[in-house]
Structure 1
């Protein structure tokens, strides 16, 4: 398999879509550096499961991506452990409402730090190693980068910035490094929150495939862009069941 023995760092890997990406890449033979912020128990359980099920060499790195020194520290830790880096998946994300009249500078700064600053500086720190390996970067965006979500302005705008960053990095880092993004539609309901733009059935009806996707749909797209798309860069792969058609 093309991915066998490749080393990939995934941010926000302990749960939900991040954990699905880790499982997909482990199944394809990757070695994994898995970042988490607070979900230590879930992260430890994931690593144990990957080792038991796939024999994956995986290790954990805790860190707050809003802190300026964290991106370089994560890359350094991955290189110290594995000696190489073949892929970077910028998956960590913040998702929270911010009604327009109530947006604070803190709301904006938190979203900008995780969705823009961290992916930029993670990629900057990873670039020398990815050049050596001919590696790739995949950023996890959102369809609301292109269809802003009412009441979620900082989230939508910073995800749009991540899409622009993806394209800019593809120009900056080619031809040695490919940079792409994946924009999910509805694949998981937000925890302890109602859907922000209608009930669950309403969201499903505004979807060409009339169903919710799964984290595995996103994980498969990430694996494709990392290892099976050698002539694809600067691309945003939308995985939304046709949601953007409505």
Structure 2
């Protein structure tokens, strides 16, 4: 099970050019991992992260592009991630597609249909891609006794209004985490991290309405504040190193799920 080819462990973090993904990549790198930084369109950001990591340690990071909605790209990404250093110890399925799909907008009042483009984009990115990557990389993870960590969401249990497709995608990855924990045991551990309010969506502009929403979210959080990417990184680090935890989803939400 532990047929390691190199002493240095290797992690693939999807969507790690920016935001929480970049923080996870940097945190794992500080712990000694070599990092495969996956990106889709954020090449400049991915190159910056890799440059930063390489300045800290030679031959310790690489950027790989891939459209997670494309099955062929998933196969290429999985193969290239392993080829770089000849092994893989950790897959972090972080990449996510998040935007509202309110029911009135998803329906045509003349012909009751939903926007299949939204359905495909969100489900393919948030659910199908993590599942396919997990299966494609399972054999390599078995060789190293590795693990998979999925980024879920507190809305996987209680829905966020106007985000029906996103909610379903995250509920799916929560079940996927538990299912694969059983299917891939005993060689591979599979766990999840479920963030609450960590970073506000970038496509929102600072308005009085948004400020009110943020205040409401914080007021519903027992710790009465927003979290930080560091909080997520700590949970990922724990799950990556723990040898007797699988099938678990850690809520990192300041207690907000108690009020949902």
What's the TM-score bracket when you normalise by the shorter of the two chains?
over 0.9
Quick one: structure 1 residues 181 and 31, their matched pair in 2 at CA, closer, same or farther if it must change by over 3 Å? same
Root-mean-square deviation over aligned CA pairs: 1.5
Match among 8, 20, 25 for residue 28 of structure 2: 25
Q: Deviation of residue 80 (structure 1)?
A: 1.1
Name the residue aligned to 1:217: 231
Select 1:60's aligned residue among 59, 63, 68: 63
Partner of 1:36: 39
Q: Secondary structure of the residue that 1:64 maps to in structure 2? A: coil
Alpha-carbon separation, structure 2, partners of 1:7 and 1:224:
16
Matched, 1:85 2:88: yes
CA distance in 2, matches of 1:27, 1:186: 25
Contact 1:26 1:56 in 2 (8 A): no
3-state SS of the aligned residue for 1:117?
helix
How far did 1:53 drift? 3.3
1:144 is matched with which residue: 142, 147, 155? 155
* Counterpart Cα distance in 2 of 1:99 and 1:192: 16
Give me the TM-score of the superposition, normalised by structure 1.
0.95
2:91 is paired with a residue of what secondary structure?
strand
TM-score (norm 2): 0.90
Aligned to 2:109: none
Corresponding pairs, count: 242
Q: Which aligned runs of 4 or more in structure 1 are off by greater than 2 angstroms? A: 53-56, 194-198
Of 47, 51, 55 in structure 1, the residue corresponding to residue 54 of structure 2 is 51
Which structure's CA Rg is the greater one? 2
**Cα gap change, 1:65/1:238 in structure 2, threshold over 3 Å: closer, same or farther?**
same
Return the offset for 1:77. 0.2
**Unmatched 5+ residue regions in structure 2?**
1-6, 107-114
Aligned partner of 1:112 in structure 2 is 123
Matched, 1:235 2:251: no
Shift of 1:93: 0.3
The answer as to whether partners of 1:27 and 1:54 remain within 8 angstroms in 2 is no
The yes-or-no answer on 1:12 pairing with 2:15 is yes
